[in-house]
Amino acid sequence: MTLRRFAAAGLALSLLCGGSALGQARNEVSIHQTAPVDLRAVDPEGTLVEELIVNAKLPGPAWWKVSDADSTVYILAIPALSPKTLAFDTSVLERRLDGANRLIMAPEPEISIVRVIGLAMGGRRYFLADKPMRDTLPPELRARLEKRLADSDEKLDSMDDIKPAFAGFLVANMKKGGSINIQSGGVADKVEEIAKKGELKKRPRIQKLDGYDVIDALKSVGSLPKPMQEFCLDAGLREADAGGFRTVETAQRWAEGDVVKLAAADRGYQACLSATPGVASEIRKTIDRSTKAIDQALKTPGKSVALVNFRPLLSEEGVLSKLKAKGYTITTPDEVQP
């Protein structure tokens, strides 16, 4: 695998860092360690709040509501990844946007092409292994990796020059022939497009929050210690064994408001990302930005709409938990009225 190809894969990885994939976490890493490492201390998305995991009763995706005496923010939990062609019922969305004070967009990754090129050219220590990667793996993990490579018509030594964490990402997204299969979401773009439509009687002000630095997140993954490197490879192999991250299937469940199944799905490689200190730090920052923006919107009488990625919204450290702690009333999708 060439450094150029790997840099392209790393750029695709940045899309995954744009929010969290859906599903539950494995809260411990125990791959060839003397004792498990509790990921809950690192992963801000690892545990969801059970009482918030409720299916929608209204048509389309699920909505949560945050309110006080004279103001309301309707929150749509959006998937981090989805096909751009995804169709969903927008009737509730259009009613919420019509007359809203503002539309708060979810934070997005900030990608500097200059820094991407610089990382690809000078960041070899973050990506490349000191010795053939397969030689450093426990036998069982090596056997699983080699089977996956063989099934994808790749040479068994094709990933020997990179670290296990990045190999995990590649095997999770590799089709036969070695191609990378990632689809980035169009949900936020579609919502923004609707918000700008002239059909709305009163269009909301669109508020875009600061994003986060993808390159620092990638460096964090590359700097993981050996047990976490192996955990990331294991996570990628589990995702591959399950058929890869099922973007289309997951997006369809989201479109139907099936929150329970979304929450129960395996997170795959995303469990590695969210348990990486640098990525976890960026996720916490996006949670804080969304919480602050919604809190500010609630100071103005009337209604607003906010987009927040699924797990950052519903986790124990997430947006709804922080807003509840501030004294706001939280209403779940089974109780939110038209």
Mean pLDDT of 213-220: 73
**The pLDDT value given to residue 18:** 42
**The pLDDT value given to residue 173:** 73
Lowest mean pLDDT among 7-11, 67-71, 83-87, 212-216: 7-11
Q: Give the span between the Cα atoms of 31 and 33, in whole angstroms.
A: 6
Give the amino acid at 327: G
Average pLDDT score, the chain: 81
From the list 123, 125, 128, 139, the residue with the least C-alpha distance to 164 is: 128
Q: Give the span between the Cα atoms of 98 and 197, in whole angstroms.
A: 10
The most confident of 4-18, 133-147, 201-215, by mean pLDDT: 133-147
**The pLDDT value given to residue 267:** 80
Q: Give the span between the Cα atoms of 195 and 189, in whole angstroms.
A: 10
Residues with Cβ within 8 Å of residue 133, at least 6 apart in sequence: 159, 160, 161, 162, 163, 164, 167
* 23 — pLDDT class (breaks 50, 70, 90): very low
**The pLDDT value given to residue 111:** 59
Report yes or no: 14 and 255 within 8 Å, Cβ to Cβ. Answer: no
**The pLDDT value given to residue 251:** 85
From the list 151, 108, 112, 122, the residue with the least C-alpha distance to 17 is: 108
Residue 289: is its pLDDT beyond 70?
yes
Q: Give the span between the Cα atoms of 19 and 185, in whole angstroms.
A: 11
Q: Could you report the per-residue pLDDT of 80-134, keeping only the tens digit for each?
A: 777 777 889 999 999 999 999 999 999 876 655 555 555 555 556 677 888 999 9
Query: What 3-state class would DSSP assign to 47?
Result: coil
Beta bridge partners of 211: none
**The pLDDT value given to residue 48:** 94
Pair of tokens at residue 265: 């799905």
- Bridge pairing between strands 212-213 and 63-67: unpaired
Residue 47: is its pLDDT beyond 60?
yes
Q: Could you report the per-residue pLDDT of 302-333, keeping only the tens digit for each?
A: 999 999 999 999 999 999 999 999 999 999 99
* 39 — pLDDT class (breaks 50, 70, 90): low
What share of the chain has pLDDT > 90, as a percent? Answer: 46
Distances in Å between the alpha carbon of 71 and those of 68, 91, 214, 296, 318? 6, 22, 35, 11, 21
Pair of tokens at residue 222: 């590359």
